Each structure stands twice: as structure tokens, then as C-alpha cells.
Structure 1
Amino acid sequence: MSLIEMQNVDVRLGGHQALSHVDLAINKGEIVTIVGPNGSGKTTLLRTLIGALKPSRGTVKRSKGVRIGYVPQSLSIDATLPLTVRRFLCLPHRHSTQAMDDALHHAGANGLQDRQMTDLSGGQFQRVLLARALLKKPDLLVLDEPTTGLDQPGSAALYRQIEQVRQDLGSAILMVSHELHVVMSASDRVICLNGHVCCHGAPETVASAPEYRALFGTGTQGALALYRHDHDHHHHSHAEESHEHGACNHA
């Protein structure tokens, strides 16, 4: 069974139809990325999956006992509030020093325990948010545009760290991103969303689909090979298998 599955889901927000007829399943250990234009319902989809929003129609099924870690798009912290990384990780629940150190290690944030949250760089802040999500030892890690505000090297480094999390902890990854060049090559599957799922499949399948190109043009085609060397044979095989099941549609 999938870790989590959406079946024929509609979501209405304030009288607006944000999502229509969405079918989606996330399986153990895979990296799935959602792309789409502004206002296409990407964040709404994530919030519905984790249970923060209720669908107006359809069902969301989670496998029994599945642990989900969520990394929000942004988080505001009062600059006048003294808050170390260690104290931040203990909100709202206290954790052992070992658990926090392990989470920071897997997030690539070693040595930040005693730093003030407001003194962190953008990349360090995102890694601490990632560590906080990893404290749950998630079966599924959900990230909403985790590299917002980071420069290109910082973004690439964070995506490599996310891939390392999958490798080390076996977590499935579901993320929303606007950085098509990196994402298309770092994912096992890509879902193109525009209020509905208009395209899904292996990166190569989606990048060549007319529905995808209508939204984003053809700019990612030449970049697909850039990060392929980061993937081991298993990931190649997974992508090739997914490629066979790619699909694109207008409805």
C-alpha cells in the first residue's frame, strides 16, 4: 500500500475551487516533486495531504502509523526573541540531546545547536527547519518550496541534502518547487499541477509533454542531465520504470 493516497480530491477555499479531481499516491522511498504556476494549488495540495485542510470531495488515505514530517515554505521568528536552535527544536515537544544532534546531522546542520535562530543564514535556517521535521523520523518528508530565498549553489546543496536524507533514512520525499532545472533531475516522479494534475511521470516524460511546455516552455530540457550523476543505479531503474507509467492530460 502507498504511504499516502488522494482519490478524486476537490478542495474549495473561500468559494474558489483550488483543486479538482486530484489523484495522487506516494510510495515508500521515492522522491516526488510537484511543479506548477503560481496559484495552481501546490501548497493547498500539500496541506490537504498532511491533514491541515479537508477536501470538499474525495478521500485522503494514510497507511496505518505513517509518520509525516513537514517543512513549511517560510517561518517568521520575532527578531527580539532569544531562541537558540536547540530550544527551537524543543517546540512544542522536548527531545533528547542525542535526537536533536542526530536530526541536525542528517539535515547538514552540525554545530548549530547553540546559535540564535535569528543569526542563521537562509540556508542554515532551512536546514534547521529540515532537522525539526526529521525529529519525527518521518516515513514521508513533505517540503513546500524549501529553497525559497536561497542562491543557486545554496539551493543545489539543499537538494543534495534532501536526497541524502532519502538515502540515509529511507524517507519518501514530496516537495513543491519552482526550480525546474534541479528538480526535474533530482526526482523519481514529477507532478505538474494547474488546479488539476495535468501531467505526471518520470522527469523526461513530463518535460516533453505539451501540457508542461505550455506552462513552462522548453527551458528545462537541456538541464535534465546535470544532476544525473548523483543518482545510483537503483534510482535510474526506478525512473525508467516510472517513465513507462507517465501520463498527461488536459482534464
Structure 2
Amino acid sequence: MFSDTANPPSPARATAGFPWAGYLLGFALGGFFDGILLHQVLQWHHLLSAVESSAVQDIRVQILADGLFHAAMYLVAAGGLWALWRSRRRFAEPGADRLLFANALIGFGVWHILDGVLSHWILGIHRIRMDSATPLLWDLLWFVVFGVAVVAVGWRLRRGGGAGGGGAGGGRAAPVALTLAVLISGPVAALPPPGVTTVMVLFKPGTTVPDVFAAVAAVDGRTVWQDPSGQFWAIDLGEKGNPRALYRHGALLVSNTLLPTGCLDWFRT
């Protein structure tokens, strides 16, 4: 009598996550937006670029930090997609599109507010534009334009009322658009910047230097850098190189799924 089959969740409980779907998807898109624009296209900062500790400046630590950041955004996005699927009964309700889009804008803006307050000013792990003589100006500009202003627009849209969708399938436009945005921007945020052909490769324990050179030769690449352990290498694949092929030659992890490798320029001496 206490089983879920005997007492299925009520429709109200099943659709209760609809507002959170928007918040979570918008928050994840905010993280992906930063990864694509600031890390890849503009290459203005790295996640831990303002941390001066020599241990943190180790490229392996930097890659781990960026990987954890992307993993966290994927988890948030997955949570948003799950909440969206669970509350799909609400898609046809009048105003569903408006509410979902408004909540996504709020989530997007909250990401930038949280990033500004926590990452830029409290923890100080990076600034928006590390090479600027006035980093605070860029921090404030980003905080206001992509944080406060976007939250204000989302809040106004949420409070504006009126039917933003609904009816015969009309309320499905925003869910479909947000789902596609997350599914596209997530992988794009993990790609290296355009024109960068260097990838960071972690080889399996026990891989010898001759094994690494054999792997590099198999993909027509060249070695650029290695760490003292001999397990972690920077490999230039050229314009036509296929990083996935390295997995067939002992690679445990290829970093174009974790780190915009254009940031390697910051670590060259």
C-alpha cells in the first residue's frame, strides 16, 4: 500500500519543478556562455588565473579546476533538463513559455552575479579581463550588463503576466529552445579556441616515453611539452589531427573536452 505504483505522484508534484527547470538551465547557460566567450573566443581569463600559488599554476591543477567547472555546469544542466522533463505537463499551459524563459534569464543573471561576487571579489581566483589596467571596471561592467540587468529583465517578464504561450503546442517553443541551447552550448564550451591545435593528453599509468612517441607518430602530431612524470603531455596535432585517435594509443584523457588550450600560452616561459 506504500509503493510508488500504488500511490503515483500527483500531477501537482510532477510539475512542481517547472520553475526550477528554467532557473537551472539559465544558470548552466551562464556558465557555458562564460566558457565560450571569455575562455575561448576572447581568451581574457582562466578559471584560476589570478591565483599566484606555484602549486595552483601547475598546468595539471589548472586543467583539473577547469574540468571540475565544466563538470559542475553539466550537472546543473542535467538537473534542469530532468526537471523540465518531469514537468512537461505544464508546457501547454497559458504563459508557460513566458515563465520558463523569464526564469532562464534570472538563472543566467544569477550565475554572473554569483561569479562576480564570489570568484572576482571574495575569492579572487580570476577577473573578467586579466590583462586590463582597470580590472574592476570590467568586473563591474560584466556584473551589471550580464548579471543585474538580465535578472531585472527576467523578473519584469515574469511579473508582466499575459499569455506567452500555451494552447495547441504553443507552450513547447521555450522548452525546446532551451533544451537545444544547453545541448549545443555544453559541448561547444568544452572545445579548444578556434585555430588551436594543441591538446593536453593524460596517458594511462605505465605508459612509457617510447609508447607516447609511438602514439604521437600514429596521429601525425608532435610533442610540445611534458610534465616530469612523463604521463602528461602537450601534443600539437596540426590542422587535420584527430584527438580521439589518441584514445586508441594509450590516452586516458584528452583535454579538448576539459580546457580551452589557448590558455597554455599563459604558462609558457
- The TM-score, its normalising length taken from structure 2, stands at 0.26
Point out the structure with max Rg over C-alpha. Answer: 2
What TM-score, normalized by structure 1, do the two folds share?
A: 0.27
